[in-house]
Amino acid sequence: MAVIVAFGDSNTWGFQPAIKTRYHRQIRWTGVMQRELGPEHYVIEEGLNGRTTVFDDFEESHRSGADYLPPCLRSHAPFDLVILALGCNDVKPRFAAPPEKIAAGMERLIDIALSEPVGPDGAAPKVLIVAPPPLARLSEYAEMFAGAEESARALPAHYRKLAERRGVGFVDAGEFIFASDLDGIHFAASEHKILGRALAEAVRMMLA
């Protein structure tokens, strides 16, 4: 059985826009991916609202992905592939991080994953990075993400170059889905379904 760890933010956790509850596992993209891959694969969800790649958040504690990733990976070992789906929260103006710096944060996560002997037979796991889609119409998050639209649009290109340079997998979620206009950053159920199917195909290719 192939084991996949999905490490991400509120869209991996399954935050439902406007209603602010959690989608059922079968609706979340991780659950859709599990269903598409079938019983020969096992998907472990590791989503946290507000998680960043490497930035400490003075308004929300314990949000740095770099701090939590090592124990997370070790707790689920052995597994075959880790999906790193982060970057949306990094564009918040309070971090003052341009796309290049956010991509550097993602590279640190790649370094962590590839340095851990948590894959099959003590090897490193395979890594797939996912760029978030552009921000949509911001409502209650307008102040939190003020001026972040341009950085969010530019981020996928930096992730793509990073993936090519480091030899890891890459999916630009914005090629498949849109953030919801209900809040501008989270995904509608229909988008979770599309993304889950797209990532299932990417996983199949990487584990073939």
pLDDT tens by residue, 146-166: 999 999 999 999 999 999 999
User: Strand 126-131 to strand 41-47: parallel, antiparallel, or no bridges (unpaired)?
Assistant: unpaired
CA 74-206-176 angle, 5° bins:
105
CA 97 to CA 147: how far, in whole Å?
12
pLDDT tens by residue, 43-101: 999 999 999 999 999 999 999 999 999 999 999 999 999 999 999 999 999 999 999 99
Q: What is the pTM of this model?
A: 0.98
14 with 179: CB under 8 angstroms? Answer: no
66 with 55: CB under 8 angstroms? Answer: no
Which DSSP string do the residues of 112-123 spell out, in sequence order? HHHHS--SGGG-
For 78, the 3-state DSSP assignment is coil
pLDDT > 70 fraction of the chain, expressed in percent and rounded? 100
The confidence score (pLDDT) of residue 140 equals 86
Task: Take residue 149 and report the two structure tokens written for it.
Answer: 């639209």
Domain ranges of the chain: 2-207
Which one is the CATH code of 2-207: 1.10.287.130, 3.40.50.1110, 1.20.840.10, 3.30.450.20?
A: 3.40.50.1110
Which DSSP string do the residues of 86-108 spell out, in sequence order? --TGGGSGGG---HHHHHHHHHH
